[in-house]
Amino acid sequence: MYLVQTNVKTLPSYFVLMYSVSEIAKQCNGRLYGPPNLKVEAFMTDSRQQSIAPHTLFVALVTERTNAHRFLPELKNKVKAFLVSSLPENYLTWGEDVAFVVVNHTLSALQQLAAHHRSQFKIPVIGITGSNGKTVVKEWLYQLLQNDFNICRSPKSYNSQLGVPLSVLKLNATHTLALFEAGISKPDEMDLLQTIIRPNIGVLTSFGEAHSEGFKNASQKLNEKLKLFPQAEKLVINGIEKNLLPASLTQGALLIGVENATLQFNYTLKEHETLLQVNTATEAFSLHIPFTDKAAIYNAVTCVGVLLQLGLNPKNYTERFKTLQAVALRLEVKNGIQQSIVINDFYNSDLNAIGIALDFLNQQHRKASKIAIVSDIEEHGPNKTELYAQLQLLLQQAKVDLLIGVGAEISRHRSVFNTKAFFFESTSDFILQFPAYSFLFQNASILLKGARRYGFERISSLLQLKSHDTVLEINLNHLTHNVNYYRGLLKKETLLMGMVKATAYGNGSSEIATTLQHIGVNYLAVAYADEGVELRQANIHLPIMVMSPERDAWADIIQFQLEPEIYSFAILQQLLTHLSQQALNAPFPVHIKVDTGMHRLGFEPQDLDELLKQLTSTSLVRVQSVFSHLVASDNAELDAFSQHQLATFNAFAQALEARLGYTVIKHICNSGGISRFKTAHLDMVRLGIGMYGVGVSVQEQKQLQNVSRLRTSISQIKMVKAGDTVGYNRNGKALVDTRIATLPIGYADGFARALGNGRHAVYINGWACYTIGNICMDMCMVDVSGVVCEEGDEVIVFETTEQLQGLAQHLNTIAYEVLTGISGRVKRVYVQE
């Protein structure tokens, strides 16, 4: 290992320790193929990452669900160093400047390297674990201490077996303090994380039920978490009695929130803040924090404990506690003005966070240009010019078209930037001048990345498309989780088609398709050609099957390279007629639909001979796949019919493939079929409602996460006297004096009239509040008698699958209809943690 430096005082804070690939091979017990002196200073594990720093090593991870070695060819001309468990074919042709370190297990090798890297540093390292609050405590400690230390910390919630080594490998010679999270989901994981983090100050933020699934009981889970601390000299333990801790950990430990706590506190709630009165063995003092919830109070006291264990006097930090900022744990994607999209990530603005946000910008980019609006960088280093030079490098790697710099410091360093840029001294200055620059945001993907104190919420409000207060919130992390669950049921070679018809079951087709493309889904399917055209215009390049091609859509299908379902001879002849008028370089891909019992669309088994005659008599088309649809894949009572369908389809598909003389993709399983007919996965499966969080059984439902959350707010609250009525036709009768709330959601938004007059409830501050009176077109009224609430409070229509299914049950329908019936005027907001 070597360090390129002549004078540490001039090093920028992003400076890293560089390793040669030969050193990496030595530390990982690997075999090196390629030049031994090739240098590495950055690590990546996602082949889809577009922003690739110089001297990057790609780690080809192998998991139960994917093997990243198959993506190595995509990086052939982008990356020079690779950590692999097997060499790619023809690796010798990759160039003399490309190096491969071959190990038995790539994740283990990365962890070994991180453990070695950690051993090079003699600075305070704070290891943070707990059931809840890890990221908040870490970020608040950063806010409190960033002016006193040059801090290396875990980006976002990087606390896993992969996230921890990637975090620790960011340590460099200028750091004077490190904050690392550690999260576990099953026994023995913490042992390994401890060897990587090796904290000398340990923090247990809380202990509860979260993430308990992988443990036998609470005692086992606690003991596993405490394995982070055997070498910690000092501890802060929240919520655990002394007698539950090993004797080796009680010495020097500050205990919080228990009967015999060594750090005791009381609190007084005020309107928008909390007064904390803290008592230690030696002194007492008070602090104000700008939060009133219990979790925030305990997190703040935990931070007090850490300051004490660092030997700092919390009384010197009272002003900083007053200005603690809420931690945004997720990114939001919203529709913006002038056909733009707006990505909100205005919590912090250090280089690591900016890099992560730029990667997300590239993942979501589907517009004509990329714009980054960035505030002054909140990162302390001796050389600000080099800091902003590194920002310019990140923008360049991300191929950002326009930088909007907001803040005095970034404006002073405008000469550093080669990217096209405009600079403003403050957020207010930008807003004041916005009308003159608004044309820049036409059809753009816009990232807002600023520290909280710059108030980028005001810029977001300026840029986002105005709509009413009812919002459908779509969690892209949950979508990814569900896709990965179903992937885990498939063989590695089985392809996955994502169903994004009907605007992705009401969730927004281009946004969902962008995520599916990013996480490696193989195919997409839409109902009609115009849906496919929208996806192509959103930069979706995956193959797209059109399930209901219409006679007027052939020009679009051909122009946008969509792949039609062919379900009748008439449709086949229409396509052939249009193709004969085109100058094609290759046969056009088609998908043959077989009717095995649905009796909706498709060729009957007796049509096979004529179909083959027509297919083999033309060179204009090539069969890409043959498929059918199970009538009742989720109904065990009809399994005999499902088996009949499978037999009919297999016979048809095998005969078709044999007589065509080439291999075609065969698929019949939908979401229910994936779960219940595992021997029928064939070459590809089609994932629909399961992807959005609705399973076919109670057991499966436990494995899925609900993707959509429909929320609104209270417009007005009023009292209705006994005997008076609410709504049209006086159908809502108040039997006693009743407090009602009016909500801006009605049947035009998808909240059906059948839910009125007490048939369904929404949720306000945890209370079920039933409708009263008829549902109106744009509004409805609910009974909030006895509920603590006020105008402007959030109202949940559904946020769990159980609530979604309950709503569907009250409408005598299914979750599909509820989701697809949510109106287009309801704003879609996409979040990613």
In a 13 Å sphere around the CA of 118, the CA atoms on its Cβ side amount to 26
Question: What residues contact 173, with CB distance under 8 A and at least 6 apart?
Answer: 3, 5, 8, 11, 15, 17
Element of type H or E holding 423: strand 421-424
Q: What distances in angstroms separate CA 12 from CA 120, 278, 627, one per listed residue?
A: 19, 38, 58
Can you give the C-alpha Rg of the chain in angstroms?
29
2: region left, alpha or beta (phi > 0 left; psi from -120 to 50 alpha): beta
Side-chain half-sphere CA neighbours of 406 within 13 A: 28
- For residue 475, the SS3 value is strand
Q: CA-CA distance, 414 to 406, in Å (whole number)?
A: 11
For residue 209, list its beta bridge partners: none
Instruction: Please report which residue ranges of 37-188 form alpha helices under DSSP H.
Output: 106-118, 134-145, 163-168
- 501 flagged as catalytic: yes
Q: Beta 99-102 vs 81-84: how paired, if at all?
A: parallel
Cα–Cα distances (Å) from 603 to 343, 407, 620, 650, in that order, read 46, 65, 20, 14
Question: Of 628, 631, 627, 654, which Cα lies nearest the Cα of 642?
Answer: 631
- Closest C-alpha to 557, from 588, 581, 519: 588
Compute, in degrees rounded to 10, the torsion defined by CA atoms 195, 196, 199, 202.
-80
**C-alpha to C-alpha distance for 200 and 210, rounded to whole angstroms:** 26
Q: Per the residue annotation, which of 501, 567, 666, 830 is the catalytic one? A: 501
Q: Quote the tokens at residue 509.
A: 């087709």
Vertex 199: Cα angle to 198 and 202 (nearest 5): 140
Q: For residues 357 and 343, is the Cβ–Cβ distance under 8 A?
A: yes
Strand partners, 181: 128
Give yes or no for a contact between 399 and 368, defined as CB atoms under 8 angstroms apart: no
CB 801 within 8 A of CB 785: no
Look up residue 616 and give its amino acid. Answer: T
Burial pattern 149-180, b for ≥16 Cβ within 10 A else e, equals: bbbbbbebebbbbbbbbbbbbbbbebbebbbb
* CA atoms of 732 and 776, how far apart (whole Å): 12
| Joined tokens for residue 462 | 């300026």
- The DSSP-derived string for 323-352 is T------SEEEEEBGGG-EEEE--S---HH
For the record, the structure tokens of 119 come out as: 């051993």
Tell me the angle at which helices 608-616 and 569-579 cross, rounded to the nearest 10 degrees: 0
Number of H helices and E strands in the chain, helices first, is 26, 41
Is 728 annotated in the active site? Answer: yes
Alpha carbon dihedral 403, 404, 408, 409, in 10-degree steps, equals -20
For the purposes of burial, counting CB atoms within 10 Å of the CB of 351, is it exposed (0-12), middle (13-18) or buried (19 or more)? buried
DSSP H/E element including 256: strand 253-256
| Residues 171 and 89 sit within 8 Å (Cβ to Cβ) | no
450, 346 Cβ separation under 8 angstroms: yes
Residue type, position 823, single letter: S
Encoded tokens for 546: 């059109």
CB 769 within 8 A of CB 787: yes
DSSP 3-state of 819: helix
**Separation CA 820–CA 823 (nearest Å):** 8
Residues annotated as part of the active site: 501, 728
